[in-house]
Amino acid sequence: MKLILPPIIDTWLARPMVAKMISFGVIGVGNTLIDLAIFSFAYTVLALPLVPSNVLAWLIAVSGSYVMNSMITFRAESGRVLRRKDYFSFVASGVLGVVATTTTLVVLSNFMPVIFAKLVSILAGFIVNFTMSHFVVFRQKPPAPDDLLPG
């Protein structure tokens, strides 16, 4: 049975950018759960300080994110091939995301419980990470001169 959506939603979902954002978001939910679990374990069980706990959780989650986004969200741009150069580019661009999440976490933890500050910081990271992934890491490359048709 096919799901029937209102025309405006159906049109909106058909846009490639929207589809990528949704895919990136769904993958991000999985990685967020990984991030949150690793952060919670490091902070509460291992008693690591706030910033090292957050960075450790991010390093583990960003690796899974690179693999899944290369294979799913940005499959056309990556060719579903994992490349060391692309991984390091993804991680490097993600540094802005981890700076955004860590800054948000540290600032908000002064005003609310750490777990809520962590959740808000994840939203800040999503915005930065999607922007960097779409416009920097997996940007559409112009066709090579060999690919251009004469005339």
Q: Is it the case that residue 10 has pLDDT exceeding 60?
A: no
From the list 31, 26, 42, 25, the residue with the least C-alpha distance to 64 is: 31
Residue 99: phi and psi, rounded to 5, are: -65, -45
Q: How far apart are CA 6 and CA 11, in angstroms?
A: 9
From the list 80, 82, 84, 92, the residue with the least C-alpha distance to 137 is: 92
- Can you give the pLDDT at residue 148? 46
Question: What would the DSSP string read from start to end of 135-148?
Answer: IIITPPPPPPGGGS
Helix (H, G, I), strand (E, B) or coil at 99: helix
What is the 3 state secondary structure string of 45-80?
Answer: HCCCCHHHHHHHHHHHHHHHHHHHHHHHHCHHHHCC
Residue-wise pLDDT tens digits, 49-82 = 998 998 899 889 989 999 999 999 888 888 888 9
Name the pTM for this structure. 0.66
